Structure 1
Amino acid sequence: MTQKTRSATACSIHSSFLPHTDAEASLAFYRDVLGFEVRLDVGGGQMRWLTVGPAGQDTAIVLHPLFEGNGITPEENATLAALIAKGSYFGANLAADDLDATFAALVAAGADIVQEPIDQDYGLRDCAVRDPAGNLLRIQQSA
């Protein structure tokens, strides 16, 4: 059997970015409901950036504020905010060791449920929720 070797230029996923509209609500959701650890909490007020991730993994999600500037006009910012609120702009796919227990915790926390756990035609069992900003999160049962 041949072992795969990692190329000197191979990369791994370090972090992905999702916008937040309320840092405290996002922090409570990702930390207290999903069980992510807080790795960084910088800034303040509307300019607060949170880095969260699953314990024992190197990957992270950076929750960042929407802001104007750097070429983004107030009108574009309003469009982005509207897309985020309805869950059609950003999102992430997560996995849970116990999808039913995770789903029950989401329901108990009052999460915005989009889809209850179901067996998909493509072989996964998953559910879907929106985080406090509206970002769509699909959570599948770990293999």
Structure 2
Amino acid sequence: MTGAAVPPPPQVWPTLRARDARSLIAFLVEAFGFEATAVYADGDRVMHAELAWPPGGGVMLGSAKDPAEGGQDPWPLRPGAFGAYVVTDDPDGLFRRAVGAGAEVTAEPHDTDYGSRDFAVRDPEGNHWSFGTYRGEPRRP
């Protein structure tokens, strides 16, 4: 099979809810470089979206359920309460991109005592995003 899409290996996909999921998706694509690989929506309401991080993994998100709609939300996450650390090889370039797209800076680019170059911002929904070069500790064989 030449050219067939192959699913990625198993990964962790953090999830979040948004008041305005369509706008948040557009922001995350423009500011950080996520790729919208799936968006299932009915008008402005996004039931499920997948945003892939080009080096691997990504996030999933959807619209928060309005309490006035009634019923139970099977995934009741509060918008703006999400936080993530995302690995990037170019934190300074990504910082400039994020600021240019309107991200709120919470920590300027800096070198850490554990050898990473990091920065942190908040998206328009209030979620916290930290980006840096730290890839985690090596795993034991």
- TM-score relative to the length of structure 1: 0.71
Structure 2 CA distance, aligned partners of 1:114 and 1:27? 21
Q: Where does residue 37 of structure 1 map in the other structure?
A: 35
Q: Where does residue 119 of structure 2 map in the other structure?
A: 127
Summarize the alignment of residues 86-125 of structure 1 with structure 2, pairs less than 5 Å apart.
Answer: 89-125=81-117
Q: Aligned residues, how many?
A: 121
- Native 8 Å contact 1:92 1:138 kept in 2: yes
Q: Please say if 1:63 is aligned against 2:55.
A: no
**SS state of the match for residue 122, structure 1?**
coil
Give the percent of matched residue pairs that are identical in Structure 1 and Structure 2. Answer: 31
Q: Please say if 1:140 is aligned against 2:123.
A: no
Q: Where does residue 53 of structure 1 map in the other structure?
A: 52
Structure 2 CA distance, aligned partners of 1:123 and 1:27? 31
Structure 2 CA distance, aligned partners of 1:104 and 1:56? 19
> What's the RMSD between the two structures over aligned residues?
2.5
Show structure 1 runs of 5+ residues with no match. 1-10
Q: Which structure features the higher share of helix residues?
A: 1
- Native 8 Å contact 2:115 2:134 kept in 1: no
Q: Where does residue 24 of structure 1 map in the other structure?
A: 22
Show structure 2 runs of 5+ residues with no match. 1-8, 136-141
Structure 2 CA distance, aligned partners of 1:33 and 1:71? 29
Structure 2 CA distance, aligned partners of 1:36 and 1:141? 17
Structure 1 CA distance, aligned partners of 2:108 and 2:55? 27
**SS state of the match for residue 134, structure 1?**
coil
For 2:127, give the aligned amino acid. N
State the shift of 1:53 in Å: 0.7
State the shift of 1:33 in Å: 2.1
Instruction: Identify if the C-alpha distance between structure 1 residues 122 and 25 changes in structure 2 by more than 3 Å, giving closer, same or farther.
Output: same
Q: Where does residue 11 of structure 2 map in the other structure?
A: 13
- TM-score relative to the length of structure 2: 0.72
Structure 1 CA distance, aligned partners of 2:52 and 2:99? 21
Greater shift after overlay, 131-140 or 22-31? 22-31
